[in-house]
Structure 1
Amino acid sequence: MGSTVLKNGLVFAEGESFRRLDIEYENGVITALGKDLTGGENVVDCSGCLVLPGLADVHMHGACGADVSGGDRRSLDRISQYEFENGITLFCPAVMTFPQQKISDIVSCISEYASDCEKTDRALIAGIHLEGPFLNVRKCGAQKKEYIQMPDVHKLEKWQQAAKGMIKLVTIAPELPGALECISSLGDSIHFSLGHSCADYSAAKAAIDAGADHITHLFNAMTPFHHRDTGVVGAAADSEDCFVELICDGVHVSPAAVRAAFKLFGDRRIVLVSDSMEATGMPDGEYVLGGQRVLKKGSSARLEDGTLAGSVSDLYECMVNAVKMGIPLESAVRAATLNPCRSIGVSHRFGSICAGKAAHFLVVDKNELSVRKVI
């Protein structure tokens, strides 16, 4: 098929800034960046557009009426197609809290789909995020209390075996017995994320010192940032190598809190996530998350008791929302592309536009920030 050149666009180069550059790629890999590139058998004119890396969502549960925890390939294929169409070229399906065998079945299905799918119009699965079951029942959110379990190294090893090594991220409440053992024992192969937790500062800091390097949906399902005990938020702020997720759907976190988070953590540690569930991209109505009935109305999805149950916004919408909330475009793009890839250890291949990396691009109208083309 030969090489392709993207010309005349403002390129978000190497995750740093927008520059007027051409991009050449071939066989799915970026081969050159520069001005006035003349090679290429195919040319894509990007005049009037921004060229971004494909977005990466490391925390999402579903979309378009399909749930990643459904345990079937058809649902995963629908989700992968929806993500790609909306500018997300890489994602980590997030598995909810279920009994031990069901988690094994779900991660096995995801792993098999990820290894077999060869369609070019689908988002790639970069890994699996286990959001449960090692959570604090007092901060379980939309997770089923009856399935919550204590952290256990051997269970996690069995799930990783079923997933064929694809589990990249595990949410864990650090104050639970066995949590520190999981982190210290398996931290070389899994990124542990603190969340759904009642941990105070000392418990959270101990987990980070043991190797945890990620925070699940900052501010949500954790103790609040208090001036005498800053909890998980303060421990993460004190730890320069710790990434923090942020849901910018306009529901989970207020615009002022979003701006405060970027000031506190900087734009190299914020990881924008969608936390999207199957109602994303669907009309108002009744849906399911983690085996529980969820009602979507407008911009939010809630359990019958009013508890937020994931979001109904995809990552591209969250990135644009962040810009509308006052976050600089460059910072928002970095938080939706390079930072998530760094947070799960795949930034050597994905997340930024530079020679040698995967040719994942998003061509966006520079004025309206609407998606023109996904490559």
Structure 2
Amino acid sequence: MEIIKNGKVFTKNFTFEKADIILDKGEIKDIIYFGNNGDSTNNTSDISGSTDANNNKSDNNYTRIIDANGLMVIPGLVDIHFHGCVGSDFCDATLEAVEKMAEYEKEHGIAAICPATMTLPKQRLMEICKNAKEYKDIQMNTKSLEKNNEQVNTSEKLKAKLVGINLEGPFISPDRVGAQNPEYVQKPDAEMLQELIDESGNMVKLVTIAPEREGAIECISKLHDKVRFSVGHTMANYDEATLAYESGAKHATHLYNAMTGLNHRKPGVVGAARDAKNVTAELICDGVHIHPSVVRATFSMFGSDRVILISDSMRACGMPDGESELGGQVVIKKENEARLVTGELAGSVTNVYDCMVKAIEFGIPIADAIKAATYNPAKAIGVLDEFGTIEIGKKPGFVLVNEDFSINQVL
């Protein structure tokens, strides 16, 4: 058994409580909460976990002891929208690329990843979906990993778990492509989407769609029980976006970016997403894509339950300044931003942990920012049973955080 001692643990109630976490055979066996004086206490809040520390007092019971005194212990983050990092991209469709991304993400506190595709030809999307399925099978089967050891780095490094695919295209508006390639934009096609779902082994979790396009509402109506449709890269007005949400869409792709804005007479997608109570909204909080005032306003409008922090990072994330690539287009990274050669803002170069820290710097309450990077994304894509909270029975995936929110240790 192992123990993380004396940490300020972020509970499933989104509060911090002083506690010890007991780990056994790859799972959280017990969580022992303490009162303000550091002694075991009967905690009256609805927290799953023991309040009896007597059976676990001796350090001799543990093969590893981690002293988290003075540290916050939060769940590993979940990034449901990013394209790449450290020179690799999900659309490379190679096992090596996903492996490099998984290692970088875990090093930066992200426990689960649902990387995004770009707007590409159908055959290329099929290859990406097939590669993701193969990588997931490798994660689940060490024998397969050994068979593929020439293709995949089999190091003992910690890695984020691949939990899904985010199809950010090709069912978008040709007038709101953003940094995507307009050559491959096409109308929403339920049959094609089903083929991609099948090829991925049902790993497709999110699908961006422009609801004003022909076939969009039909596609949402047919497949909303299988994937989470996200309104984005769209020219939709309030009524068109509202119809999409009424038809089964439940998400908004990087709110404010590549969509109709919030105007006092034309509330657009932002207004429709806000009014549809079951809809979650992605927010790129890198300090470039969204002004701090708008970050604060969004949390106020949507509430802490519905905002999901994402990175939307690209392969230039974690790399030096210079030329990079996104969806077949040249991108120039300079400091904390990346742009196409035309000047169009591309994806971010900031990981989602640093986005969470930015949100806190912008005035978002600590608990709300953590929730938006852990619980909310895990719930949105259906992996809350494994990620998003620290609870008995879940597999460990923690970030030990210093008082200044720098990462002390990742487990």
Q: TM-score range by the shorter chain?
A: over 0.9
TM-superposed CA distance for 1:15, in Å, is: 4.9
Cα distance in 2 for residues equivalent to 1:15 and 1:360: 18
CA separation of 1:15 and 1:214: change in aligned 2, threshold 3 A: farther
Choose which of 265, 273, 290 in structure 2 pairs with 1:228: 265
Partner in structure 1 of residue 358 of structure 2: 321
Q: What's the CA shift string for 1:71-113, capped at 9, x where partnerless?
A: 1111111110000000001010100010000000011111111
Cα distance in 1 for residues equivalent to 2:29 and 2:247: 39
Partner SS state of residue 172, structure 2: coil
Partner in structure 2 of residue 28 of structure 1: 26
Q: Aligned AA for 1:363?
A: L
Partner in structure 2 of residue 176 of structure 1: 213
1:266 and 2:303 correspond: yes
Partner SS state of residue 60, structure 1: coil
Q: How does 1:64-75 map to 2 (within 5 A)?
A: 64-75=86-97
Partner in structure 2 of residue 52 of structure 1: 74
Choose which of 330, 337, 344 in structure 2 pairs with 1:293: 330
Q: How does 1:6-25 map to 2 (within 5 A)?
A: 6-25=4-23
Choose which of 101, 104, 111 in structure 1 pairs with 2:133: 111
Q: Aligned AA for 2:232?
A: G
Q: Aligned AA for 1:104?
A: M
Contact 1:46 1:363 in 2 (8 A): yes
Partner in structure 2 of residue 84 of structure 1: 106
Partner in structure 1 of residue 2 of structure 2: 4
Greater shift, 40-49 or 183-192, is seen at: 40-49
Contact 2:91 2:117 in 1 (8 A): yes
Contact 1:15 1:352 in 2 (8 A): no
TM-superposed CA distance for 1:242, in Å, is: 0.6
TM-superposed CA distance for 1:41, in Å, is: 3.6
Partner SS state of residue 116, structure 2: strand
Q: Aligned AA for 1:52?
A: I
Cα distance in 2 for residues equivalent to 1:352 and 1:126: 16
Partner SS state of residue 310, structure 1: coil
Cα distance in 2 for residues equivalent to 1:192 and 1:15: 28
1:129 and 2:129 correspond: no
Q: What's the CA shift string for 1:201-246, capped at 9, x where partnerless?
A: 1111111111111110011100010111211111111111110000
Cα distance in 2 for residues equivalent to 1:6 and 1:40: 10
Contact 2:103 2:157 in 1 (8 A): no
Q: What's the CA shift string for 1:142-186, capped at 9, x where partnerless?
A: 110010010001100111111111001101111111111111111
Partner SS state of residue 346, structure 2: strand
Partner in structure 1 of residue 235 of structure 2: 198
Contact 1:15 1:353 in 2 (8 A): no
Partner SS state of residue 318, structure 2: coil
Contact 1:15 1:334 in 2 (8 A): no
TM-superposed CA distance for 1:350, in Å, is: 1.1
Cα distance in 2 for residues equivalent to 1:140 and 1:358: 39
Percent of paired sites with the same residue:
45
Contact 1:274 1:311 in 2 (8 A): yes
Partner SS state of residue 342, structure 1: helix
Cα distance in 2 for residues equivalent to 1:152 and 1:88: 33
Based on CA coordinates, which of the two structures has the bigger radius of gyration?
Answer: 2
1:371 and 2:393 correspond: no
Equivalent residue pairs, number: 372
RMSD, matched Cα: 1.2
Contact 1:56 1:351 in 2 (8 A): yes
Partner in structure 1 of residue 120 of structure 2: 98
Cα distance in 1 for residues equivalent to 2:167 and 2:13: 27
TM-score normalised according to structure 2 size: 0.89
Partner in structure 1 of residue 373 of structure 2: 336
Q: Aligned AA for 2:164?
A: G
Cα distance in 1 for residues equivalent to 2:366 and 2:188: 39
Unaligned runs of 5+ in 1: none
TM-superposed CA distance for 1:357, in Å, is: 2.1
CA separation of 1:15 and 1:272: change in aligned 2, threshold 3 A: farther
